[in-house]
Amino acid sequence: MSILPILCYPDPRLHTVAKPVAKVDDRIRQLVQDMYATMYDAQGVGLAATQVNVHERVVVVDVSEGRDEPFALINPELLWASEETQLGEEGCLSVPGIYDGVERSTAIKVKALDENGNERIIEAEGFKAICIQHEMDHLMGKVFVEYLSPLKRNRIKTKLLKQQKQAERA
C-alpha cells in the first residue's frame, strides 16, 4: 500500500467531476487499498479519489471508533436523502486545519459497488451519513467550503495559499 499525495484547496483539480469506474479490477482494488492507507495516515474518516488526483468515482470511509471498519463505495449513487437536515462542523483533508458548519441530510440511502464489484445498499445516519455526503460531493468536484459564504471562502483560500507558499520556501 502506498500513501498518495492529497490535493489541497484551492487546487483546480479538486473541481474535476469524476468519471464512473468502468470495471472493478485489480487497479481499482489497489487504488482502494492505497486510499485506505492515505486516509488513515492523514487521520481522516473519508477520502474521495478526486482528492488524490484520480478522477474516478471511488470513495473510502471509516467512521468507526476503532478505525477498523473501512468500506469502499465505487460509483455511489444517492437513492434517498432525508428532508431533515442538521448543521454540523466539517473538516476536510484537502482543506487542512479549517472547520465550519455545513447543512446536510441526517439520513441517506446509497447504492454502490464494493471493492469486489458487488452491489450494495448502504443506509446511514448521523456522522456516517454526513461523511458519505461530503465524500460524494468531491466526486462532483465540490469542496465543502463552497457551502460557505464567498467572504469565508476567500479568507480560507488566502490562508491556505499563504501556508502553501511558506511550506515551499521552507
CA 161 – CA 47 distance, rounded (Å): 22
**Known active-site residue 69:** no
Residue list, annotated binding site for Fe cation: 92, 134, 138
The secondary structure of the chain in percent helix, strand, coil, rounded to multiples of 5, reads 35, 30, 30
Among the listed residues 90, 123, 135, 146, the single catalytic one is: 135
In DSSP notation, 84-115 reads -EEEEEEEETTEEEEEEEEEEESEEEEEEE-T
- Residue whose C-alpha cell reads 498518495 in the numeric block: 4
Residue list, annotated binding site: 92, 134, 138
Q: How do beta strands 85-92 and 58-61 pair? A: unpaired
Catalytic residue positions, numbered: 135
